[in-house]
Amino acid sequence: MGKRGPKPRRKKPVEWSSNLAYAIGLIATDGSLSKNGRHIELTSKDRGQLQTFMRCLDIEVKIGIKKGYADKTANRVQFGDVVFYDFLLEIGLTPNKTKTIGALDIPDKYFFDFLRGHHDGDGSFHSYWDKRWKSSFMFYLIFVSASKEHVDWLRSKLERFLDVRGHITHGRTATVYQLKYAKAESLKIIKNMYYSNTVPCLKRKRVKIFKALRRAGNLTKFAQVLKLVDISP
């Protein structure tokens, strides 16, 4: 039996959708492009996130294990698709993108789907009672990148769409940048990221956010607008 040839390229071009934009947000943070021009990989500690990723891209591959630093392991999926790989290059993603990623060509219509994937991949949300003020519950929505250019691009897009400014700080190291939005501005962004109860997302992160909003007294009106009632784990 002769050696098998390469897997055929997909016949249809890549078409934008909310699911695709969400998946690209994950790739832009926790994903990577191989140097061979065909393979895409996504790594996550959360197995469910990888399953959501595959559903968004309509693919089914085996979830493997990737060993990292300090003997820690994570789940990963890897698949080959030359057409999709080239598409990712066209919108601005590259191999070894961590510190070089800049602006991405994301259609305005799907930007907040992309942003939700970006936040699920490498963002965070913090909330706490501020002891300086009576009954003051603070919360911050945070986006993270090792590329200042990419953080500046995210900030400019959000300012254009929602008239929010946020502020940029360093993370745990000087090579990591955090784009942070407090209370009123973060609410605007959350409303647009979670515009439906059925959008693909990392559920535990969504639950954390909406439980904090409930504690802050912002959830009732917010949930009525978005028809979001399920905040159970």
What tens digit of pLDDT does each residue of 125-165 get?
Answer: 998 877 766 667 889 999 999 999 999 999 999 999 999 99
Query: What distance in Å separates the CA atoms of residue 98 and residue 40, rounded to the nearest whole number?
Result: 15
| Whether residue 58 has pLDDT greater than 90 | yes
Query: What distance in Å separates the CA atoms of residue 12 and residue 225, rounded to the nearest whole number?
Result: 37
| Whether residue 10 has pLDDT greater than 80 | no
Query: What distance in Å separates the CA atoms of residue 185 and residue 130, rounded to the nearest whole number?
Result: 18
- 2 Cα distance to chain centroid: 42
Cα distance between the two ends of the chain: 51
Give the chain's domains with CATH numbers. Answer: 18-98 (3.10.28.10)
pLDDT at 168: 96
Provide the mean pLDDT of the chain.
Answer: 87
Query: What distance in Å separates the CA atoms of residue 207 and residue 190, rounded to the nearest whole number?
Result: 12
pLDDT at 68: 67
The owner of tokens 């959008």 is: 199
Task: Supply the pTM of this predicted model.
Answer: 0.88
Residues with Cβ within 8 Å of 39's Cβ and at least 6 positions away in sequence, in order, are 33, 78, 79, 80, 85
pLDDT at 232: 42
230 phi, psi to nearest 5 deg? -95, 105
